[in-house]
């Protein structure tokens, strides 16, 4: 027993073993003695709670440091935390995508940025910081929209972690990974699966989830968990304001386009002069109706749809996400199955549950979606269904079909000339458009990289 | 100066929307102490420096090792061999120039030996990875000095926090789902008069469709009262009848088809909650009955003076109810009707707050303090939040650790559930015991893992025996805790870093409610629990 050994012998034995630990794995030129001690205990030692597939050894750390390729989407509140967490957990090759540049209001939580970095691309500054602070870690930045990158880019990663602030972007990413899945004779090829870890935060609330495309619930399976954003009714804004918010929306939606105070430019929420103008108009309107509460801060919040944010919630959720990335990359523990909710308004509350797959999920179920309409229904009704249904929540769907062997666009909003040409179709009935029972419609939308197939089911 | 203030408003904008300018001011006037700049310690600090804490002081006597740098974002390899407090302060300070960073190259034990009053200056003391003996010593000093103490520990995949604060009052708890305070079951005179000014039967369609649902319910309640012996609709059947009663009030067109009156639909939808009885929440009643409320002296903090004043109000002007909150939710209505209704509630709230103010004045006078000691705006804020007041009292560490006052019931009842996180609390205590005996943690070196299992088991058994805890801890947990080898993986440190920092911010700002008193996070299952020990 070690304790009974002479102190000198014991000291030498410890030295030998420490050296052995330092030499085995993780000893790149940039690594110093003991660097990965904290991580190694989870990779080199067997344990009673590890994943059934886990095999202790030096290879896992090697894999993390040199082979594993992980992608972080977003270099903002969650992204900065994720990059740090992954780098300090041993991940050696990390790519990061973010289309934004740094703003002053980011600095209260996006700790890889400094006042002098304002205006620079987030992905690039974040990468520079991590690369310089964590020797041996290589972060590769991509100052791009996720939609600007394609299959061949995303395919190269073992794991993708999202720290996005938009549901549309999440759904797109979700759709992209689903589109990468390959099936052979109806059986999912597991090597085509890229696990997606998704984190979201809002004030003191957050969630982290693990998605295994094709196997577990995807973003769209649980779309109802993200209720659609409610905008104020136009009649309230136009003629019956009651809240300061209504006054602000009046200035933004009605007065700005009419008065064009700065010429033909759109309202830029980041332009203090624009916000000041909206603020003053809102105050005037509020005074007219004896409404109190219009402040500059509220004005900016409404115009930019600002979501409050603090460092702490971002830290918690990114930590949970990175823990999962580590578990998955190393098979060291069974990953979260599959959804964690966090809230620290009153004490600290977490809730962990398994979100279920939706049988007819528009993103991952592979079955054509059912569209039930009478032949006398107008195309406009179909469009409204696609945008307003809680399970679809499309933004500006483009509907095409095959008629008489040819591809026909029924309605497309995003290209002006096509929108004008196809707009009359909205008032036509499905029958008038030549559609028949069982007809397949292909719908494209920003919420998905692949078109979604719908099957028309005529009702009485 | 103005430029700095404006740029601070921009920088902190996203958090000012959560705790306001007054919360930010508290934060900027605070000085926090963190003991041990391990990964957990620096992560906690990061999440306090970024939002602009006034000052921090790191107390750490350790020298930076290679292992330290490996999991810590705020240490670099060229700080190996340097004092850890100093090295970490440099890189943390760099995050935010508004913050003042300080360090003391000393172990907390030495400070406790030579200068325990050193700790009295801090708003909160956060002890990270402290051995049990240091924790208890420090706990006792801070308890006597009424300095809030937050104990944090990352041990393998387990995170642990213990809050030690004698009495923490919260006026602005910002509850997630607060019920409205409309008083429809006991309408005050000004509201009744306002309702009288409406005659639904003689209104034109436009006015009828834009009458606030609160007025509609009030009107129909009056009718219901006259037909039901002044009793509110009580059960489902009666509420259903009441809803139907309102529905019949919807205007019909020439063909007898009901018009589209959204305000009436709103009224019907809100019947359930609108008819809730106005009650003083049990938690507030408890506060009314507490010692501090009933024993006002010149030393009494303003929270209790205001609470006592509200209690006096309840027994006098309030007729058994708290001051009216003064908010109404948005609802379908034309601007004028809505604003007028809102003003009725706002003015009543002001009136009630003024009455409470008078009581505050009397109380202050009775203990020889000037009436300006408590500001008008503070009294208004207090009244607005009267239903949501919270007081958190945590037991001292001494009480938790004493055989005489250990919370046996909580421990044994949790351990009945195999999924409970309580087992990790016991393992952490056992590991502390191991450290006390062997001056090291179990399984730090690979060769120790196997051998330490039986030693750790002895520590576990001695712990359970000392506290007469008749619970069983599976060998798997003992093995796992040897396997951890006191590792401090970064992601678990980061989770705790965010959690602890926010609790510290709650303590400093007196907004939102801190946990009471033990929080355990299990990164293996991504679950957590709050225990009262």
Report CB contact under 8 Å: A111, B46.
Answer: yes
The closest of A151, A177, A211, A174 to A335, measured between CA atoms, is A211
A176/A208 same-domain check? yes
CATH number, domain at A431? Answer: 3.10.290.20
Does the residue A12 lie in any domain? Answer: no
- Give ∠ CA B198-B201-B203 in degrees, rounded to 5: 65
- Tell me which residue in A38, A208, A301 faces B67 most closely, judged by beta carbons: A38
**Which candidate in B526, B527, B531 is best for mutational testing of the A interface (most A CBs within 10 A)?**
B526
Q: Which member of A32, A311, A320 has the closest CB to residue B66?
A: A32
Cβ within 8 Å, pair A89-B77: no
A88, closest residue in chain B (CA to CA) = B71
pLDDT computed for residue A8 by the predictor: 64
Residues A127 and A160 in one domain: yes
pLDDT in tens, A23-56: 444 678 899 999 999 999 999 999 999 999 999 9
Strands B55-59 and B100-104: parallel
On chain B, the residues whose CB falls within 8 A of the CB of A306 are 13-14, 17
- CA dist., res. B293 & res. B301, Å (int): 10
Mutation target for B interface from A319, A332, A336, A338: give the one with most B CBs within 10 A: A319
Range(s) of the domain holding residue A405? 369-458
Of B339, B512, B525, the CB nearest to A242: B339
**Three-state SS annotation for B119-155:** HHHCCEEEEECCCHHHHHHHHHHHHHCCCCEEEEEEE
Residue A380, in any domain of the structure: yes
Sign of the C-alpha dihedral computed for residues B498, B503, B504 and B508 taken in this order = positive
Distance from CA of A17 to the nearest CA of B (A): 8
Q: Which residues of B touch A307 (CB under 8 A)?
A: 14
Q: What is the CATH number of the domain that holds A297?
A: 1.10.10.520
pLDDT at B10: 95
Top pLDDT among B520 and A447 is at B520
- Residue where a domain terminates, one of A287, A320, A353: A353
Q: Give dist(CA B316, CA B311) in Å, integer.
A: 9
CA dihedral A296, A298, A300, A301 (to 10 degrees): 160
A contacts of B10 (beta carbons < 8 Å): 104-105
* Smallest Cα distance from B232 to chain A, Å: 30
According to DSSP H, which parts of B439-516 are helical? Answer: 446-466, 475-484, 490-509
Contact present, A50 and A333 (Cβ < 8 Å): yes
Contacts of A35 in chain B (CB under 8 A): 66-67, 69-70
Q: What is the pLDDT of residues B69-100, one digit of tens each?
A: 999 999 999 999 999 999 999 999 999 999 99
pLDDT at A23: 42
CB pair distance less than 8 Å for B10 and A105 = yes
CB within 8 Å: B339 and A318 = no
The H or E element containing residue A169 is helix A167-179
pLDDT digits (tens, 9 = 90+) for B301-323: 999 999 999 999 999 999 999 99
Could you tell me if A94 and A82 are in contact, meaning their C-beta atoms sit under 8 angstroms apart?
no
Q: Find the closest chain A residue to B496 by CA distance.
A: A316
Name chain B contacts of A78, Cβ cutoff 8 Å.
none
Same domain, residue pair A149 and A101: yes
Using the CB atoms, write b or e for B87-106: b if 16+ within 10 Å.
bbbebbbebbebbebebbeb
Q: What is the pLDDT of residues B397-408, one digit of tens each?
A: 999 999 999 999
The catalytic residues of A are: 235
Q: Flag if B446 and A133 touch (Cβ within 8 Å).
A: no
Residues in chain A: 460
Which of helix, strand or coil describes residue B237? helix
Q: How far is CA A346 from CA A170, B168, B389, B516, in A?
A: 29, 14, 12, 10
Interchain contact, A318 vs B494, CB within 8 Å = yes
B491:A89 CB<8 A: yes
Please tell me the distance from the alpha carbon of residue A346 to that of residue B421, in angstroms, as a whole number: 20
The percent of residues in chain B predicted with pLDDT above 90, rounded, is 96
Q: Within a domain: residue A5?
A: no
Nearest to B445 among A17, A49, A88 (CB): A17
CB A43 within 8 A of CB A63: no
Amino acid A24: pLDDT: 46
> Could you tell me which residue, A415 or B415, shows the higher pLDDT?
B415
Q: How far is A346 from chain B (nearest CA, A)?
A: 5
Residues of chain B contacting A89 with CB distance shorter than 8 Å: 489-491
* B327: nearest CA partner in chain A: A243
Asked whether the CA dihedral B209, B211, B217, B218 is positive or negative, the reply is: negative
Min Cα separation A115/chain B (Å): 9
What pLDDT is attached to residue A185? Answer: 84
Q: Which residues of B touch A135 (CB under 8 A)?
A: 77
- Please tell me whether residues A244 and A344 are part of one structural domain: no
DSSP state string for B362-413: HHHHHTT--GGGS-HHHHHHHHHTGGG-EEE----HHHHH-TTT--HHHHHH
**pLDDT tens string for chain A (460 positions)?**
444 545 666 666 666 555 555 444 467 889 999 999 999 999 999 999 999 999 999 999 999 999 999 999 999 999 999 999 999 999 999 999 999 999 999 999 999 999 999 999 999 999 999 999 999 999 999 999 999 999 999 999 999 999 999 999 999 999 999 999 998 888 899 999 999 999 999 999 999 999 999 999 999 999 988 777 778 999 999 999 999 999 999 999 999 999 999 999 999 999 999 999 999 999 999 999 999 999 999 999 999 999 999 999 999 999 999 999 999 999 999 999 999 999 999 999 999 999 999 988 989 987 888 999 999 999 999 999 999 988 899 999 999 999 888 889 999 998 889 999 999 999 999 999 999 999 999 999 999 888 898 999 999 7
Q: Is residue A427 part of a domain?
A: yes
Closest to B491 (Cβ–Cβ): which among A21, A290, A322? A322
Q: How far is A319 from chain B (nearest CA, A)?
A: 5
The more confidently predicted of residues B147 and A362 is B147
Burial of A260 (0-12, 13-18, 19+ CB in 10 A): exposed
From the CA atom positions of chain B, what is the Rg in Å?
A: 29
Are A147 and A71 part of one and the same domain? Answer: yes
Buried b (16+ CB within 10 A) or exposed e, B42-79: bbbbbbbbbbbbbbbbbbbbeebbbbbbbbbbbbbeeb
Closest C-alpha to B279, from B179, B379, B384: B179
| Closest residue, chain A, to B495 (C-alpha) | A316
Please indicate, yes or no, if residue A26 is contained in any of the structural domains.
Answer: no
Q: Taking CB atoms and an 8 Å cutoff, what residues of chain A touch B76?
A: 133
DSSP SS3 for B163:
strand
Residue A4 lies in a domain: no
Question: What sign for the dihedral angle of Cα B319, B324, B328, B333?
Answer: positive
Residue of A nearest to B154 (CA): A38
**Sign (positive or negative) of CA dihedral B78, B80, B84, B86:** negative
Residue A263: CB atoms within 10 A of its CB come to 5
- Backbone φ and ψ for A342, nearest 5 degrees, come out as -135, 140
A-B interface: how many C-beta pairs under 8 angstroms? 238
> Where exactly are the structural domains of chain B?
1-166+488-531, 189-275, 282-391, 403-484
Can you give the C-alpha Rg of chain A in angstroms? 27
Q: Do B526 and A340 touch (CB under 8 A)?
A: yes
Q: Do B66 and A104 touch (CB under 8 A)?
A: no
**Could you say which of A85, A311, A347 has the minimum Cβ distance to residue B51?**
A311
- Of the candidates A39, A49, A241, the beta carbon closest to that of B489 is on A39
CA distance A199 to chain B (A): 13
Q: How many CA atoms lie within 13 A of B102 on its CB side?
A: 12
- pLDDT score, position A3: 47
Nearest-Cα residue of chain B relative to residue A317: B495
CATH number assigned to the domain comprising residue A143: 3.40.50.720
Residue B1 pLDDT > 70, yes or no? Answer: no
Angle between helix B422-438 and B408-415 (nearest 10)? 120
CB contact under 8 Å between B76 and A133, yes or no, is yes
Q: Is A15 left (phi over 0), alpha (psi -120 to 50) or beta?
A: alpha
Query: What does DSSP say about strands A440-445 and A398-403: parallel, antiparallel, or unpaired?
Result: antiparallel
The answer to the question of residue A299 being in a domain is: yes
The reply to whether A290 and A173 lie within a common domain is no
In angstroms, the first-to-last Cα distance of chain B is 48
CA distance A195 to chain B (A): 18
- Going by C-alpha positions, the residue among A198, A315, A161 that lies closest to residue B40 is A315
Chain A neighbors of B156, CB-CB under 8 A: 41
Give yes or no: residues A67 and A134 share one domain: yes
pTM, entire model: 0.93
In this prediction, residue A110 carries a pLDDT of 98
DSSP string, A405-453: TEEEEEE-SSSHHHHHHHGGGGGSBTTTTT--TT-EEEEEETTEEEEEE
Residues 6+ apart with CB under 8 A from A43: A56, A57, A58, A60, A61, A330, A332
Per the DSSP assignment, residues forming a β-bridge with A162 are: A73, A198
Instruction: Determine the Cα–Cα distance for residues B431 and B523; give it in Å rounded to an integer.
Output: 18
Shortest Cα distance from B383 to chain A (angstroms)? 19
Cβ distance of B514 and A308 shorter than 8 Å? no
For residue A289, the chain B residues in CB contact (below 8 A) are 335-336, 339
Superfamily of domain B1-166+488-531: NAD(P)-binding Rossmann-like Domain (3.40.50.720)
Q: Measured between CB atoms, which of B14, B173, B526 is closest to A309?
A: B14
Say whether A45 and B70 touch across the interface (CB within 8 A): no
Task: Inspect the interface and report whether the beta carbons of A311 and B501 lie closer than 8 Å.
Answer: yes
Judge: B50–A88 Cβ closer than 8 Å, yes or no: no
B15–A36 C-beta distance less than 8 A: no
Considering only CB atoms, B77 lies closest to which of A88, A135, A346, namely A135
Question: Do the chains contact at A85 and B491, CB–CB below 8 Å?
Answer: yes
> Are both A101 and A191 inside the same structural domain?
yes
- What total number of domains does chain A contain? 3
| Averaged confidence pLDDT in chain B | 96
Q: Is there a contact between B71 and A38 if contact means CB atoms under 8 Å apart? A: yes
Q: Are A69 and A62 in contact (CB under 8 A)?
A: no
Query: What residues in B contact A21, CB-CB < 8 Å?
Result: 446
Work out the end-to-end distance of chain A between its first and last CA atoms, rounded to an integer number of angstroms.
Answer: 84
| Residues in chain B closer than 8 A to A324 (CB atoms) | 526
């Amino acid at each position: 027993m070690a304790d009974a050994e002479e102190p000198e012998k014991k000291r030498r034995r410890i030295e030998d073993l420490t050296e052995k630990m330092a030499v085995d794995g993780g000893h790149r030129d940039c690594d110093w003695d003991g660097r990965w001690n904290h991580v190694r205990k989870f990779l080199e030692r067997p344990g009673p709670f590890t994943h059934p597939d886990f095999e202790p050894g030096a290879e896992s750390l090697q894999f993390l440091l040199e082979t594993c390729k992980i992608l972080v989407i977003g270099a903002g509140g969650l992204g900065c935390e994720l990059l740090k967490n992954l780098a300090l957990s041993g991940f050696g090759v990390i790519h990061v995508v973010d289309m934004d540049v740094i703003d002053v209001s980011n600095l209260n939580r996006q700790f890889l940025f400094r006042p002098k970095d304002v205006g620079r691309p987030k992905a690039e500054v974040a990468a520079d910081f991590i690369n310089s602070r964590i020797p041996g870690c290589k972060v590769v930045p991509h100052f791009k929209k996720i939609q600007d990158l394609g299959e061949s880019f995303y395919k190269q990663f073992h794991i993708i972690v999202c720290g996005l602030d938009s549901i549309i972007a999440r759904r797109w990413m979700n759709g992209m990974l689903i589109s990468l899945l390959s099936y052979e004779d109806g059986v999912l090829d597991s090597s085509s699966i890229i696990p997606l870890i998704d984190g979201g935060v809002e004030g003191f609330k957050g969630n982290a989830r693990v998605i295994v495309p094709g196997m577990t619930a995807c973003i769209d399976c649980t779309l109802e968990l993200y209720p659609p954003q409610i905008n104020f009714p136009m009649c309230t804004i136009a003629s019956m304001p009651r809240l300061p918010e209504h006054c602000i929306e009046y200035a933004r939606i009605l007065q700005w386009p009419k008065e064009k105070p700065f010429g033909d430019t759109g309202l830029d929420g980041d332009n203090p002069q624009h916000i000041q103008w909206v603020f003053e108009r809102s105050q005037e309107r509020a005074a007219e109706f004896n409404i109190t509460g219009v402040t500059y801060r509220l004005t900016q919040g409404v115009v930019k749809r600002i979501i409050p944010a603090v460092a702490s919630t971002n830290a918690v959720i990114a930590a949970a996400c990175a823990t999962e990335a580590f578990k998955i990359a190393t098979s060291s523990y069974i990953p979260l199955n599959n959804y964690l909710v966090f809230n620290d308004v009153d004490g600290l509350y977490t809730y962990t549950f398994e979100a279920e797959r939706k049988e007819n999920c528009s993103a991952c179920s592979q079955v054509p979606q059912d569209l039930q309409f009478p032949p006398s229904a107008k195309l406009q009704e179909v469009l409204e269904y696609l945008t307003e249904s809680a399970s679809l929540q499309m933004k500006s769907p483009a509907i095409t079909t095959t008629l008489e062997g040819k591809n026909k666009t029924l309605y497309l909003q995003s290209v002006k000339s096509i929108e004008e040409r196809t707009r009359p179709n909205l008032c036509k009935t499905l029958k008038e458009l030549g559609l028949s029972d069982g007809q397949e419609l292909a719908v494209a939308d920003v919420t998905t990289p692949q078109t979604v197939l719908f099957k028309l089911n005529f009702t009485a | 100066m103005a430029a700095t203030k404006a740029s601070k408003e921009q920088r902190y904008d996203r958090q000012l929307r959560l705790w306001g300018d007054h919360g930010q001011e508290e934060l900027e006037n605070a000085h926090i102490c963190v003991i041990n700049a391990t990964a957990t310690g620096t992560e906690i600090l990061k999440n306090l420096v970024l939002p602009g804490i006034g000052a921090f002081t790191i107390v750490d006597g350790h020298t930076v090792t290679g292992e330290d740098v490996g999991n810590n974002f705020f240490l670099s390899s060229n700080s190996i061999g340097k004092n850890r407090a100093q090295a970490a302060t440099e890189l943390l300070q760099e995050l935010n120039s508004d913050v003042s960073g300080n360090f003391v190259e000393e172990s907390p034990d030495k400070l406790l030996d030579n200068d325990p009053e050193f700790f009295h200056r801090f708003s909160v003391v956060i002890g990270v990875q402290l051995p049990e003996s240091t924790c208890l010593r420090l706990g006792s000093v801070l308890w006597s000095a009424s300095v809030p103490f937050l104990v944090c520990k990352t041990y393998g995949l387990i995170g642990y926090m213990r809050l030690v604060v004698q009495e923490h009052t919260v006026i602005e708890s910002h509850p997630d789902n607060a019920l409205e305070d409309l008083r429809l079951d006991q309408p005050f005179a000004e509201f009744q008069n306002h309702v009288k000014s409406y005659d639904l039967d003689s209104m034109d369609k436009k006015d009828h469709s834009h009458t606030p649902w609160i007025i509609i319910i009030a009107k129909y309640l009056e009718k219901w009262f006259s037909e039901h012996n002044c009793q509110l609709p009580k059960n489902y059947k009666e509420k259903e009848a009441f809803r139907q009663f309102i529905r019949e009030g919807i205007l019909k067109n020439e063909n007898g088809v009901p018009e589209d009156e959204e305000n009436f639909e709103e009224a019907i939808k809100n019947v359930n909650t609108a008819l809730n009885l106005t009650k003083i929440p049990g938690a507030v009643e408890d506060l009314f009955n507490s010692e501090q409320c009933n024993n006002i002296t010149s030393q009494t903090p303003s929270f209790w003076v205001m609470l006592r004043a509200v209690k006096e109000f309840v027994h006098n002007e309030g007729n058994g109810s708290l001051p009216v909150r003064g908010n109404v939710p948005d609802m379908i209505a034309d601007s004028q009707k809505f604003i007028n209704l809102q003003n009725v509630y706002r003015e009543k709230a002001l009136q009630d707050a003024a009455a409470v103010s008078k009581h505050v004045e009397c109380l202050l006078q009775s203990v020889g303090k000037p009436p300006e000691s408590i500001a008008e705006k503070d009294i208004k804020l207090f009244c607005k939040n009267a239903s949501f007041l919270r007081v958190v009292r945590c037991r001292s560490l001494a009480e938790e650790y004493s055989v005489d006052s250990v919370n046996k019931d909580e421990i044994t009842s949790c351990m009945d559930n195999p999924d409970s996180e309580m087992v990790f609390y016991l393992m952490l205590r056992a590991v502390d015991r191991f450290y006390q005996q062997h001056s090291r943690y179990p399984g730090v070196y690979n060769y120790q893992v196997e051998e330490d299992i039986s030693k750790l088991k002895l520590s576990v058994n001695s712990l359970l025996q000392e506290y007469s805890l008749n619970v069983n801890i599976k060998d798997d947990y003992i093995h796992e805790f040897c396997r951890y080898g006191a590792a401090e993986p970064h992601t678990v440190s980061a989770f705790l870093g965010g959690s602890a920092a926010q609790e510290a911010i709650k303590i400093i700002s007196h907004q939102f409610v801190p946990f009471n008193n033990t929080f355990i996070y299990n990164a293996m299952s991504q679950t957590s629990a709050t225990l009262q020990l």
